[in-house]
Amino acid sequence: MDAKSTVFEVLKKEGEPMSAGQIAEKSGLDRKEVDKAMKQLKSEEAIVSPKRCYWSPKE
């Protein structure tokens, strides 16, 4: 599973907005990998930010 898929799965599983640091901790990925994956997910509009620096999957 690539980093983008892993990040998205962690967000879906947790069911609440998470910061990049929390995602990195839960997924076991490096923070830089998480940031890169989140950038891709944001450009695809797969994730949204309900509050500053926190992300969740788009409904």
Convert the pLDDT of each residue in 5-49 to its tens digit: 999 999 999 999 999 999 999 999 999 999 999 999 999 999 999
Task: Give the closest residue to 38 by CA, choosing from 1, 13, 3, 2.
Answer: 3
- Distances, alpha carbon 6 to alpha carbons 12, 37, 50, 55, 59, in Å: 10, 9, 20, 14, 18
Domain count, the chain: 1
Q: Is the pLDDT of residue 4 over 90?
A: yes
Which pLDDT score is estimated for 1? 79
Which pLDDT score is estimated for 26? 96
Would you say 1 and 37 are in contact if contact means Cβ atoms under 8 Å apart? no
Print the domain residue range for 13.
Answer: 3-57
Distance CA 1, CA 3 (A): 7
* CATH label of the domain that carries residue 45: 1.10.10.10
